[in-house]
Each structure stands twice: as structure tokens, then as C-alpha cells.
Amino acid sequence: MPFTPAAGRRLLTRSGQSRPSLIRVLAGALREICEQNEFSSVHVNFCEEEEAEALREAGFLHRHGVQYHWRNRGYGTFDDYLSALRSKRRNQVRRERREIAAAGIEIEVHEGDGIDDALFEPMFRIYRSTVEKMYWGRQYLNRRFFELLCERWKRNLSFVVARRRGEVIAGTFNVRKAGTFYGRYWGTFEEVRHLHFEVCYYAGIQHCIEHGLERFEPGAGGEFKYWRGFEPVATHSMHFLPHPAFASAVEEFLGRERAAVGEVIVEMNERSPLKPPSTEPTTDR
């Protein structure tokens, strides 16, 4: 199953068949497998809403999380995106981008078959650089994984690369699929103020606008994404715990957590850095 925290289908069904009924069958089967093998629990993380409903009917407990996703509201240019932000945030983005340019840093997006094979080695080192800086970091991808991506999966990749005097100093590893841009790994060999925002967010937003991509999911966590126009979105994860007392305690907690998550999303939408949609009537010409 996907390890990355990106929502999507977790229960796979044959095309041409009734997906809702098959999801219910799979939900019941997961529960049976757990009970028959005396497993402590079963977890279906970041699933689709239709899957969450079927799993809830099968006795799974429902957990909500929050991620921040950017939506393309029909922007034609990066300036259109900036115009959708309130003035304080719009000026902040412009200032941060100016500082990166003034530092002599150039940003470029390499995508699909246009990615030079030689870029995979520095991207592997960029991935490792973040792991090594964090005391909780754990390297679960190796060099061979990046080599296989280069050989077999380049068509779905997008690398945002920051260079100074021609040398790679930072970058992000992203996946593009089905109209969505997924941010996965970021790293830098040189600490530069605001570089993280430029490489991880602004360059990705600009790329989405230029290529007509509908959504940008930069990964879990980070409220600073919200202040740059990424909107709060509820995620769904489902959990089956066969021990009745334990399941009851967890269910009580999750009920409180879901309510809190809902309140957070409502509050964030009310004070969004995005300007509210125009309510002025349009006139045909």
C-alpha cells in the first residue's frame, strides 16, 4: 500500500463491477482477517470518502486529519494567484521571491523524460540531507530506489531544482499524476532564507498554473502552507480494533477529535488568506 500521506483509493476493485458493493465485501473481509488471525488492529489510511463510509459500516473507527491543498481556480498566471491573496500575504510572497532572486539563485522545473539522468544522484543526496538534519529522521529510500525511478518511472516525476552559479543547492522531489502535483521530498545543501518556500511552494504553484494542473498536495503538516493560499482539507483514515474496551476508548477520543478538526477547518476558512470570491454580478458583452 502507498506509504506516502496522500489521499486516494485504498480498496481496489475490478472495473465494470459495482464498486460500492465490492467495497463493502472488502471491508468485511478485512475485519474477518483481523479477528481470525488475532491481529491487534487494521488501519486503512488516507482513503477516499466512499471507502470510509463502507468501512464505518463494517465497524471501523473514523479518524479525521487536516492537510493543506492548493486549488487552481482558473489562474492564467502566477500574478493571478497573487491577486487572489489578501494584500499582506501577497506582498509577503513577492518579497520572499525577490530575496531569492537577489541571492543569485535560479529555480527550474525538470519534468518527465526531460529530466537529465544525472539529476537523480543529487536528488538522492537532497533527500538524505533532510533525513540527516532531523533527529527523528529515518532513511527508508536508498540509492537503488532512485536509480529504478530513473529507469522506469521518470514520466511521472517533477524535480524543482535551485542552482547558484550552476551548482545544485536545493530541490524538491515531486510526482505528477491525474491532474495533481504531489510534493514529496525536500532538501538543501545550503541554508538560505525563504528558499524552502520558493522551492516547495511557489515554484510548484507556478508550474501547476502553467501546465493547467488542478491541485497541488504538498504533503502533511505545516500551517505555513495555509498562509500561502493552501486550503485546509479533511482527510479520512479508518481503524478496526477487535478489543471491545480499547475500541470504545479510541472511539470516544476520535469523536472529540473529529469535532475539533471540523471547528479548525471552519475557523481557518473564515480567516483565510484568500480573498472571498467576488459577488458582483457579471454582464454579458
Clarify whether residues 51 and 97 are in a common domain: no
- Domain count of the fold of the chain: 2
pLDDT at 278: 62
**Helix (H/G/I), strand (E/B), else coil: 152:** helix
The number of angstroms, rounded, from the C-alpha of 265 to the middle of its chain's C-alpha atoms is 17
- Mean per-residue pLDDT pooled into runs of 10, the chain (285 residues): 80 91 93 96 94 93 96 96 96 97 97 95 94 82 95 96 96 94 94 95 97 92 88 95 96 97 95 76 37
CA 208 – CA 238 distance, rounded (Å):
31
**Within a domain: residue 29?**
yes
Clarify whether residues 95 and 61 are in a common domain: no
Contact of 149 with 143, CB cutoff 8 Å: no
Residue corresponding to grid cell 524543482: 160
Clarify whether residues 127 and 38 are in a common domain: no
CA 224 – CA 221 distance, rounded (Å):
9
Residue corresponding to grid cell 520572499: 96
Clarify whether residues 53 and 85 are in a common domain: no
Q: What backbone phi and psi angles, to 5 degrees, belong to 62? A: -100, 125
Contact of 266 with 102, CB cutoff 8 Å: no
**Within a domain: residue 43?**
yes
Q: Residue 260's domain spans which residues?
A: 19-67+234-270
Clarify whether residues 80 and 197 are in a common domain: yes
pLDDT at 135: 73
What CATH number did the domain enclosing 37 receive?
Answer: 3.30.1370
**Within a domain: residue 5?**
no
CA 163 – CA 150 distance, rounded (Å):
21
Clarify whether residues 140 and 209 are in a common domain: yes
Clarify whether residues 190 and 239 are in a common domain: no
Clarify whether residues 174 and 117 are in a common domain: yes
CA 259 – CA 170 distance, rounded (Å):
39
**Within a domain: residue 225?**
no
Clarify whether residues 208 and 96 are in a common domain: yes
CA 18 – CA 15 distance, rounded (Å):
8
Candidates 144, 142, 85, 150; CA nearest to 117 is 150
pLDDT at 282: 39
**Within a domain: residue 167?**
yes
